[in-house]
Structure 1
Amino acid sequence: MSDLGNEKPPTVRRLRQTIDPIGYLLTEGFHLLGLFAIGAATVWAALKAFLEMSTKGHASIEDLLLLFIYLEIGSMVGIYFRTNHMPVRFLLYVGSRR
């Protein structure tokens, strides 16, 4: 071990070099799976809400705001896939009105 205090022994470095890519892969895989699940659930919920409005014969302001929230969630997932950033500000604006 070095006098610097932060250098790791070679076995620890080798272990980290082996394990870190596996951890990164698992984390990214879980992240993508979660985003796809959120996207699919959003589409399903929006379609269900739209069909309920259709059978009712009219849409209230609450129904329209709910559809807008679904649209924002879907957009957030899409934007995340393109930019790797999750834009939640607009969803918070819309959600605070409900």
Structure 2
Amino acid sequence: MDEKDLDPKGLIRESYKIEGITEDQCRSIFLDWALSLPGTIEAKVAIEALLIRNQSQPADHPMTSILEQGRVQMVNPKRRGGWRSRNRN
């Protein structure tokens, strides 16, 4: 998996550089990251790769905690709704 695909905007990488970043800020960054992830990459796979890539970071860093939570809770969302769901006869 290409680094550019893994973290397209460099959000996760940069979050580890922000001194004093909070868990809430990391959660917001994580959401932005998840929304920018290419549709061809499964989020759980990307999270695993990010955790491996950042294993040298402090274990108590808030982004590590958010990634760990994401690994457990993240599912690849399927689009629901649209005209087909509204146009049922």
Q: Work out whether the TM-score is over 0.5.
A: no
* TM-score (structure 2 length as normaliser): 0.29
Higher relative contact order (CA 8 A, sep 6+): 2
Larger Rg: 1
The structure whose residues are more often helix, as a share, is: 1
